[in-house]
Structure 1
Amino acid sequence: MTARTAVSLRHARVRYGPLEALHGVTLTAPGPGLTVLLGRNGSGRTTVLRALAGTVPLADGSVVWDGTDVTRVPAYERARRGLVLVPERRAVFGSLTVRENLDLAAATPDPALDAYPELAPLLPRRAGTLSGGEQRMLALSRALLARARVVLVDEPAQGMSPTVAARTYELLATLDACVVVAEQRLPPALHSRTAIVYELRRGAVVFSGEAAELRHRREKR
């Protein structure tokens, strides 16, 4: 990526039937760089990722990518333009082998295996038989191989050991892409990093700033 990129929600509202999940959320995720969406289950962080990816429609507001309104651009077209969504569940093709999953993303799996050497002995295994942490590594490897401009990940380190989780955040933080991750709590690996943080509560943004600012604010309470 030769130029900076950014994705934004502007006054976004999302409804699931009669329930409104996002109440006019406005946020911007610049790139290259890492943006973290924090919040408990039901806070709206996963819905923000889906809204950015186009997998849920907006009831009101807009999605802007590089200054262009893409609210009505379907999810598959956003993917063609370089956006990758790694959901919390069903992020791999369970009936395919690990190698076949990687082959769908790139001609060679070498960069993925460099990032996650733990996957090398698992290449002939069907993805559906892997542990939760192994499936997360595989799903993230496919995103790394895609060389996307925008990477959206829901709980990237779920099921991983602390060592692999730290490595995962190191990889995400150094990607030449706009990276947005959703987590319940600020991961320890990000405590010493510069990252933009948005905290959501009941479908609304209650904090926006840098990770260090959020830590300082919480320490004062």
Structure 2
Amino acid sequence: MSTLELRAARVRYGPLEALHGVSLAAPAPGLTVLLGRNGSGRTTALRALAGAVPLSGGAVVWEGVDVTRLAAHERARRGVCFVPDRRAVFGSLTVRANLELAGADTGIAPALAAYPELGPLLARRAGTLSGGEQRMLAVSRALLAGARAVLVDEPVQGMAPEVARRTYGLLAALPACVVVAEQHLPSGLRRRAGRTVVVHELRRGAVVFSGEAAEHVNRADRAGRGPGGGPLTSPG
């Protein structure tokens, strides 16, 4: 089984260090959740895997090869697809054009099968869509890309609950290394498509938990808090 890894990774933003020697691994195929509140380092860890931010120390390893010095576009050529939480679509282009730019040999049909809600919006400019519609478009572009590693920051932000559940089903079923960053562990996300879901919880730039999602949920229940680190009444 191949993996995408951070090894003792450090990231600095000016004088502030956002990741303090973080080590974590995401198996392929499989779904890995980088969990944490705002400021925990979860987004920075995802961006470090994608090559969107440079490391000040440590390494990024993909399928046993050190790719730390490879820029984001070079990692993309090796099959890494990154979907940021903002500006993940081309706002001035139509929905159809955004999907066609994904370059899938199958055309855009698989994206419309995954998200039929996009069908009536094909002629609309992506920048005029709602937040949830833009996330559907961004994720569907990642589905079309046929990438070997799919990294998505808050994939279901703004989506209706039913669409969010469908989205996680789609991501979990991909034959790829799928890594998502979330504030809360989505409800019911213990095992999807027959695969174990891996969780790495970050807090203040360090990993405080690594293990299976079911183990994380049980641990949070014993501690009297929700699976995302908040109270049991927290959403998600």
Smaller-chain TM-score bracket = over 0.9
Correspondence for 1:34 among 26, 31, 39: 31
Counterparts in 2 of 1:133-144, with a 5 A limit?
Answer: 133-144=132-143
Report the secondary structure of 1:148's partner residue: coil
Give the CA deviation at 1:74: 1.1
Choose which of 199, 202, 215 in structure 2 pairs with 1:200: 202
SS in 1 for 2:174: coil
Contact 1:98-1:126 within 8 A present in 2 as well = yes
CA contact (8 A) 2:2 2:27 kept: yes
How far did residue 191 of structure 1 move? 3.9
* Amino acid paired to 1:196: V
8 Å CA contact 1:15–1:59 kept in 2: the answer is: yes
* Residue of structure 2 aligned with 1:53, choices 37, 50, 55: 50
Within the candidate set 61, 64, 83, 1:67 is matched to: 64
Q: Return structure 1 stretches of 4+ with deviation > 2 angstroms.
A: 191-194
CA distance in 2, matches of 1:129, 1:60: 40
Structure 2 residue corresponding to 1:11, chosen from 8, 11, 27: 8
2:172 matched residue in structure 1: 173
Residue of structure 2 equivalent to 1:154: 153
After superposition, the C-alpha distances for 1:51-88 in whole angstroms (9 at most, x for unaligned) are 01111110000000000000001111100111000000
Q: Give the CA RMSD over aligned residues.
A: 0.9
Answer whether contact 1:152 1:179 (CA < 8 A) is retained. Answer: yes
Q: Quote the residue 1:212 is aligned against.
A: 214
Structure 1 residue ranges without an equivalent (≥5): none
Displacement after TM superposition at 1:5 (Å) = 2.6
The match for 1:102 is: 99
Shift in Å at residue 122 of structure 1? 0.2
TM-score, length-normalised on structure 2?
A: 0.91
Aligned to 2:77: 80
CA deviation vs aligned residue, 1:151-202 (integer Å, no higher than 9, x gap): 0000000000000000000000000000000000000141454300000000
Amino acid at match of 1:216: N
Query: What is the CA–CA distance in structure 1 between the aligned matches of 2:144 and 2:188, rounded to whole Å?
Result: 23
Maintained 8 Å contact 1:21/1:44? yes
Task: Give the letter aligned to residue 114 of structure 2.
Answer: A
Distance 1:186 1:199 in 2: 10
Deviation for aligned residue 1:148: 0.2
- 1:219 is displaced (CA, Å) by 1.3
Q: Which residue of the partner structure matches residue 164 of structure 1?
A: 163
> How many pairs are equivalent?
218
Establish whether residue 131 from structure 1 lines up as the match of residue 133 from structure 2.
no
**Aligned residues of 1:166 and 1:189 also touching (Cα < 8 A):** no
Letter of the structure 2 residue corresponding to residue 20 of structure 1: E
Distance in 2 between the 1:192 and 1:145 partners? 24
- Cα distance in 1 for partners of 2:191, 2:140 equals 24
Counting aligned pairs with the same residue, the percent is: 73
Q: State the 1:10 CA deviation.
A: 0.2
Give the Cα–Cα distance (whole angstroms) in 2 for the partners of residues 214 and 54 of structure 1: 28
Superimposed CA distance per residue, residues 91-122 of structure 1 (whole angstroms, 9 cap, x where no aligned partner): 00000000000010125100000000000000
TM-score, normalising length from structure 1? Answer: 0.97
Contact 1:13 1:24 in 2 (8 A): yes
CA–CA distance in 1 between the matches of 2:190 and 2:157?
18
Farther off after superposition, 191-200 or 59-68: 191-200
Measured in 2, the distance between the counterparts of 1:163 and 1:155 equals: 16
